[in-house]
Amino acid sequence: MDIDLMTYAFFEGAIVPHEDAKVSIATHALQYGTGAFGGIRGYLDKSGSAINIFRLPDHVGRLLQSGLMLRCDLPYSPDQVQQTIIDLVKKNAPDRNVYIRPLIYKAGIVLSPKLTGIRDDLAIYMIPLDDYVDMSSPLKLMVSSWQRVEDNIIPSRGKITGAYINSSFAKDQATEGGYDDAIMLNREGKVSEGSGANLFVVRNGTLITSPVTADILEGITRRSLVEFARDQGIPVEERAIDRSELYVADEVFLCGTGVQIAAVGSIDGRKIGDGQRGPITEKLQDIYFSLVRGEDSPYSHYVTSIPIE
Distances (CA, A) of 138 to 71, 133, 249, 286: 40, 10, 14, 16
The catalytic residue among 159, 171, 190, 283 is 159
Total number of residues that touch ligand PMP (CB under 6 A)? 14
Residues contacting 25, CB < 8 A, separation 6+: none
Smallest gap, in angstroms, from Cβ of residue 256 to ligand PMP?
A: 3
Q: 3-class DSSP state for residue 288?
A: helix
The answer to the question of residue 257 lying near ligand PMP (CB under 6 A) is yes
Q: Which is nearer to ligand PMP, 89 or 184 (CB)?
A: 184
Q: Which is nearer to ligand PMP, 60 or 88 (CB)?
A: 60
The answer to the question of residue 42 lying near ligand PMP (CB under 6 A) is no
Residues contacting 95, CB < 8 A, separation 6+: 44, 48, 308
**Is the torsion defined by CA of 232, 235, 238, 241 positive or negative?**
negative
Distances (CA, A) of 260 to 141, 187, 257, 284, 286: 16, 27, 5, 10, 11
Smallest gap, in angstroms, from Cβ of residue 270 to ligand PMP?
A: 23
Which amino acid would we find at residue 194?
G
Q: Which is nearer to ligand PMP, 119 or 223 (CB)?
A: 223
The answer to the question of residue 39 lying near ligand PMP (CB under 6 A) is yes
The answer to the question of residue 102 lying near ligand PMP (CB under 6 A) is no
Q: 202-221 mask for ligand PMP (x: CB under 6 A)?
A: ---------------x-xxx
Residue of 94, 256, 265, 294 interacting with ligand PMP (CB under 6 A): 256
The answer to the question of residue 222 lying near ligand PMP (CB under 6 A) is yes
The answer to the question of residue 303 lying near ligand PMP (CB under 6 A) is no
Is 159 one of the annotated active-site residues of the chain? yes
Stretch that binds ligand PMP, among 2-10, 189-197, 263-271, 287-295 (CB under 6 A): 189-197
Phi/psi of residue 163, each to 5°?
Answer: -70, -20
Q: Which is nearer to ligand PMP, 62 or 140 (CB)?
A: 62
Residues contacting 295, CB < 8 A, separation 6+: 46
Spatial CA neighbour of 158 closest among 28, 25, 33: 33
**Is the torsion defined by CA of 6, 8, 10, 16 positive or negative?**
positive
Give the distance from CA 9 to its chain's centroid: 20
Residues contacting 260, CB < 8 A, separation 6+: 41, 131, 132, 135, 221, 285, 288, 289
Q: Which is nearer to ligand PMP, 209 or 266 (CB)?
A: 209
Smallest gap, in angstroms, from Cβ of residue 119 to ligand PMP?
A: 26
The answer to the question of residue 144 lying near ligand PMP (CB under 6 A) is no
Stretch that binds ligand PMP, among 6-14, 120-128, 251-259, 276-284 (CB under 6 A): 251-259
Stretch that binds ligand PMP, among 2-10, 93-101, 253-261, 265-273 (CB under 6 A): 253-261
Q: Which residues bind ligand PMP (CB under 6 A)?
A: 39, 167, 193, 196-198, 217, 219-222, 256-258
For the annotated catalytic residues, the residue numbers are 159
